[in-house]
Amino acid sequence: MNGWIFIDKQKNITSFKVIQRLRKILNIKKIGHAGTLDPFATGILAIAVGEATKSIHYFNQNKVYKFNVVFGEQKDTDDITGKTINRSNIIPNKKAIDQCLRKFIGKHNQVPPKYSAVKVNGKRAYKLARSNLKFSIQPKDVFIKCLKCVEIKNKSEFCFILECSSGTYVRSIARDLGNMLGTYAYVSELRRVKIGKIEEKDIILLDKFEELVHIGDHFEVMHSIRDVLDDIPAVLIDQELSLKFRNGLSFEYVNKISENDYLLVETEKKIVGIGKAIEGKIKPIRVFNL
């Protein structure tokens, strides 16, 4: 069993709990996910099984989120699960919000939330925050392709659509947007609706997947490594080069490939692994035992 499963994560369950349950359902040890969802969030959780776990690092697709922001209140976690630490009577209108959203587009320097898994001096930020310790988190570069306010839910709550790079914190966007508008803000609802080409029509509830496992039909909803990594250029090689690659040896390859590009190396029958173009040669990075 080697491939990807795209689960529709429900509220009030951690991404780790989903992994634990799938490990038990499938009776498999090698399993991992690409991109954690907070317990209160829902939507697409990308899970790799078996040899596909070796491809998690290379699954760096843009993600699309639909989320609601409440203005006029600050939560310590920057989301609905936290405790209120500040309030403001200032509630922006949609025109003011739209003007601010333009400032987020493109390469964006973002500080992750204090309640996040980011490490600060070797310790998780959320553990430091829970201990009421003072600390600062270094900003990091993320890329925001699109950010729009699409609906007014009520006087203080608005709905947004975001397309961004991996590693972007939606809670930080809400927090920063509130600051720009002279007030406070937090995320009240959050759903991941797309990763790369994977959309909501491609996902399955955990309970439904378990039902399919019991009757042996779950393979129909799994995605191959090739399907998931279709954004990486592929190189077709013969059996002789395949054996060389599997043994950790580079091979010469002359083509219009940028240096340090990751490449999906395959034969006519199966995927062999992931290589990297270095000085006219393809060097093995990961080898799949399929």
* CATH code for position 23: 3.30.2350.10
273 and 185 share a domain? Answer: no
Asked if residue 215 and residue 139 are part of one domain, the reply reads no
* 74 lies in the same domain as 85: yes
Pair (93, 169) in one structural domain: yes
Alpha-carbon gap, residue 97 to 93, rounded angstroms:
6
Task: Give yes or no for a contact between 234 and 64, defined as CB atoms under 8 angstroms apart.
Answer: no
41 Cβ contact list (under 8 Å, min separation 6): 9, 11, 190, 191, 192
Amino acid 83: pLDDT: 95
Res 281: pLDDT: 86
Q: Are 80 and 69 in contact (CB under 8 A)?
A: no
Ranges under pLDDT 50 in the chain: none
Report pLDDT for 290. Answer: 83
Mark which of 168, 193, 218 sits at the end of a domain.
193
pLDDT of residue 33: 92
Catalytic residue among 8, 38, 79, 176: 38
Would strands 281-287 and 271-278 be described as parallel, antiparallel, or unpaired? antiparallel
AA letter at 60 = N
Predicted structure pTM score: 0.90
Shared domain for 160 and 176, answered yes or no, is: yes
| 132 and 187 assigned to the same domain | yes
Q: Which residues of 235-273 are buried (b: 16+ CB within 10 A; e: fewer)?
A: bebeeebbeebeeeebbebeeeeeeeebbbbbeeeebbb
Query: Which residue matches tokens 């969802």?
Result: 37
Together in a domain, 174 and 74 = yes
Q: Which domain holds residue 141?
A: 63-193
244 and 254 part of one domain: yes
Residues 182, 122 within the same domain: yes
Q: How far is CA 5 from CA 107, 230, 243, 274, in A?
A: 30, 16, 29, 20
Whether residues 67 and 189 share a domain: the answer is yes
Q: Number of structural domains, the chain? A: 3
**118 and 19 within one domain:** no
**Are residues 76 and 128 both part of a single domain?**
yes
- Catalytic: 78? no
Q: Last residue of a domain, which of 228, 245, 275?
A: 228
